Amino acid sequence: MALIVQKYGGTSVGSIERIQNVAGRIIDTVKQGHAVVVVVSAMGKSTDHLIDMANSISNQPSKRELDMLVSTGEQVSMSLLAMALNEKGYDSISLTGWQAGVETESVHGNARILNIDTQRINRQLDSGRIVIVAGFQGITTADEIATLGRGGSDTTAVALAAVLDASKCEIYTDVTGVFTTDPRVVKDARKLSAISYDEMLEMANLGAGVLHPRSVEFAKNYNVMLEVRSSLEKETGTIVEEVATMEGNLMVRGIAFDDNVTKVTVHNLPDDIVTLSTLFSKLAERQINVDIIIQNTSGNKTTNVSFSIDSGILTETMEVLESHRSLLNFDSITSEGNLSKVSIIGSGMISNPGVAAKMFSSLAGANIKVKMVSTSEIKVSTVVDGSLMISAIECLHEAFQLDARKPVHTAQ
């Protein structure tokens, strides 16, 4: 009996009616002869509601207590789903992250999975039960509840699929697959039948909300067959695989964006060999992720360093820098908010050096100024004014003809 791991996101379990719909899908999978492990997110916007309540009490809630709070959201949806399945005559059991054996590092709010003890899950599967696991959470070696970051239920599902040697991991969401860009932004965005792990990882890291980045890392590292599908529509989704067949030989596979970017500039740092190391080490100690970095050296033995961050961690970033002012010996710090990052992604870019030039000429033709740039073999990211983000996405989507070609590969 082949095992399938299914993950249902917040929209998919956002109401009792939708939970009943999910139960029906699970039953259909069981009737096909599969054992099933299901991972669920919290219902709808309930995690946001919990965070809002925490913020109404404290401007900076304890990260430990915040994890204790938000981890309850998944427990609501997992137990309701188990009840729905049991009511329909299908023996099911719900397990929290720690009951399912998910062990994480001791980092609240953005922990990584270290190990999964599958003994309890396997016992339940051997007894013929459907196992429902709370996504997004685990337990540290110090017996503290820790969460995996927003979207972490994807990671829970793929990690379980890896350690349980599942034949497939299906990620059910409110879209029918992975698109060339967000179809809510560009109405002519096209669904991809397949995308490579590397391309999907870049898309996820650069703002595409379809999959959590660490879930794609797990899928790539453990060769997990991954499919992104709609929980509301019964149609084939997008296969994420090692090497995806090119659709029409597209140089660019998709466009990702992040509308929550702030640029921070540290002015007049000493221009010596240890400055950058010290600066970014201090930020890393506080788990502050830095993205695009630009250094401008002047003639007076000082340098300005700019970097982009998520706008939500600006206050913490400024506090870390100010607390090490004497060590870093800088003059001042400035920040520029209301920025967006727009990125083009595609493995075909490796053998097509003109892609970046086409991107910049297209943006220039639309009178969109580029503030920061970052590149890799399969992506080019630009930071632009937030008010111009949609124009930039539409401009690039048209320039690279992402809505003008027909797929040549159909996922099975």
Q: pLDDT tens-digit profile of 179-238?
A: 999 998 999 999 999 999 999 999 998 988 889 899 999 999 999 999 999 998 888 999
Mean pLDDT of 54-70: 96
> Above 70 in pLDDT, residue 359?
yes
Question: Within 10 Å of residue 242's Cβ, how many Cβ atoms?
Answer: 10
Going by C-alpha positions, the residue among 157, 155, 150 that lies closest to residue 47 is 150
How large is the average pLDDT for residues 284-295?
94
Q: How far is CA 282 from the centre of its chain?
A: 25
How far, in Å, CA of 228 to CA of 10, rounded?
A: 15
CATH fold of 3-174: Carbamate kinase (3.40.1160)
On the question of pLDDT at 23 being above 90, the answer is yes
What pLDDT does residue 408 have?
Answer: 38
- What kind and span of H or E run contains 373? strand 372-376
Q: Does residue 265 register a pLDDT over 90? A: yes
Residue 370 burial class via C-beta count within 10 angstroms: exposed 0-12, middle 13-18, buried 19 and up: middle
Instruction: Find how far residue 64's CA is from the centre of its chain.
Output: 22
Residue 242: pLDDT band with limits 50, 70, 90? confident
Is the pLDDT assigned to residue 245 strictly greater than 90? no
> Which runs of E-coded beta strand occur in 247-352?
254-270, 293-297, 302-310, 332-345
The pTM for the full model equals 0.84
151 pLDDT band (50/70/90 cuts)? Answer: confident
Is residue 319 predicted with pLDDT exceeding 90?
yes
| pLDDT band with cut points at 50, 70 and 90 for residue 289 | very high
The domain limits of the chain are 3-174, 246-412
Residue 295 pLDDT > 70: yes
Give yes or no for residue 248 having a pLDDT over 60. no
- Residue 201: the pLDDT is 94
Per-residue pLDDT band at 42 (split at 50, 70, 90)? very high
Name which CATH class applies to 246-412. Answer: alpha beta
Q: Which residues of 311-335 are buried (b: 16+ CB within 10 A; e: fewer)?
A: bebeeebeebbeebeeebebeeeee
